[in-house]
Amino acid sequence: MKLQTLFGLIITFVLLITSIGVPASSSAANIDNSISPIELEPRDPADTVLRYLQKQADNIALVSYTADAEGNISTDAPVVKHNANEPMPLASTIKTVVLAAYAQQVEQGILNPNEMIPVSEWEKYYLPSTDGFAHFSALDSLGIPYDELGFALDQSVEVPLDALVTAMIVQSDNAATDYLLQRIGSDAVQEIIDQAGLEQQEIPVSFLGLFLSWFNHESPEQNLDKVERLAALSDEEYRRLMSDLEDQYINDVAWREATISFLRNLSSVNYPFFVSAGEQLTPQGTANEYAKIMAGVVSGTFISPEVSARMRGHLEWPMQFPAIQERFAAYGVKGGSFQGLITYPLYAVPKNGDYAGQSRIVVLFMTNMPQNAFTSFSQTAIFEAFELRIATDARFAAHVQQAFE
């Protein structure tokens, strides 16, 4: 998936992830009539996004501010907080929490980033057609040939553990995330959440188990009744269901092959079903707490300087691009998407302009998006243009502040 930034940079990695079968035919001009009047203006995409956000105010969360050297909010610049403490589904943005737990275990000597991991262990958790081709992209980046479903041709190939972390953050590979969750352990992830004071952050779950609970060859229906049945389960019951399905996929060869065959032949998806499933069944968090994470990481105060530094090493992958290097001293991001929702927290330290040398934090969560709006925003990434505009343009930041006051 190609994402175009405000500065015309084409980023060729998959940033918007866990997108299953979204139609690719919608153009940027096809914003759903239910949210009109909004006309896309290519010369001013940031203002287009702002008007969408105002019309969808109940379904979005936005936080923006300048962070000081300790990661706290500076009052010297406009502060925007809209629905900042409303829990919302996170999609793959939640992988930032997994990254933090990994970074801490490396610093504690529990995990070795140079440990070699067989691709066969990684791909135990790979569920084709459910990650927006992220796994294809991850294998491509490592020079590993794969078949038409995205499985490595040579299962004996080994990669460093840290390469799986890169796959999780850069390509947003779900299988890598699930492997890391299994290695780190849910208790360690909960410890990070508690240590960081993320009071509204729900613990990550296996993407494999999550998707299998929604559809597999034994339960192929895509309807809202299924979502309601799953939502009626207690947290313990739902986690047990996901764990059982994950174990079955990993350990029962015939069941695994039947599910893969089912997904391979899946011709369409029910957009309302996946929107409802994403809203009700996936882990949630708040824009305010992800702003806190981003501010802490860029200031070196999240958990510890060492943990923050290791997280920056992965979150700042866009710094490899000359167009980003030219404009920013630091730029870190971990976004996510799923049908009907886009989440995009970032930090940026501009080299020039109104906020030169300052740590700018912007977090945007959009949920319950009409299908055409979701497809258009995903394909054009104009939401990133909006966030970078806030991060670099003081007048626009003040305009957004006033719009939401």
What tens digit of pLDDT does each residue of 175-210 get? 999 999 999 999 999 999 999 999 999 999 999 999
Say what the pLDDT of residue 75 is.
87
Compute the C-alpha angle 308/311/315, nearest 5°: 130
**How distant, in Å, are the alpha carbons of 20, 100, 111, 190 from that of 181?**
22, 12, 12, 11
CA-closest candidate to residue 201, choices 280, 277, 282, 279: 282
What is the separation, in whole angstroms, between the first and last Cα of the chain? Answer: 35
Region 296-314: what's the mean pLDDT? 98
Say what the pLDDT of residue 43 is.
56
Share of the chain above pLDDT 90, in %: 86
Instruction: State pTM to two decimals.
Output: 0.89
CA-closest candidate to residue 369, choices 88, 81, 134: 88
Compute the C-alpha angle 319/202/179, nearest 5°: 60
Region 285-305: what's the mean pLDDT? 98
Say what the pLDDT of residue 269 is.
84
User: With contact defined as beta carbons under 8 Å apart, do 17 and 134 qualify?
Assistant: yes
CA distance 328 to 320: 11
**How distant, in Å, are the alpha carbons of 118, 123, 175, 236, 397 from that of 127?**
17, 8, 8, 23, 41
Residue 131 confidence (pLDDT) above 50? yes
Residue 37 confidence (pLDDT) above 50? no
Say what the pLDDT of residue 327 is.
97
Say what the pLDDT of residue 325 is.
96
379-397, pLDDT tens digit by residue? Answer: 998 999 999 999 999 999 9
Say what the pLDDT of residue 38 is.
33
Which distant-in-sequence residues (6+ apart) come within 8 Å of 320 by Cβ? none
Say what the pLDDT of residue 267 is.
79
CA distance 365 to 337: 10
Least-confidence region, from 39-53, 138-152, 195-209, 341-355: 39-53
Residue 40 confidence (pLDDT) above 70? no
Residue 42 confidence (pLDDT) above 90? no
Computed over every residue of the chain, the mean pLDDT equals 89
CA distance 306 to 288: 23
247-294, pLDDT tens digit by residue? Answer: 999 999 999 999 999 999 887 889 999 999 999 999 999 999 999 999
Region 156-162: what's the mean pLDDT? 98
pLDDT confidence bin for 45, thresholds 50/70/90: confident
84-114, pLDDT tens digit by residue? Answer: 999 999 999 999 999 999 999 999 999 999 9
Say what the pLDDT of residue 268 is.
81
- How many Cβ atoms from other residues are within 10 Å of residue 186's Cβ? 15
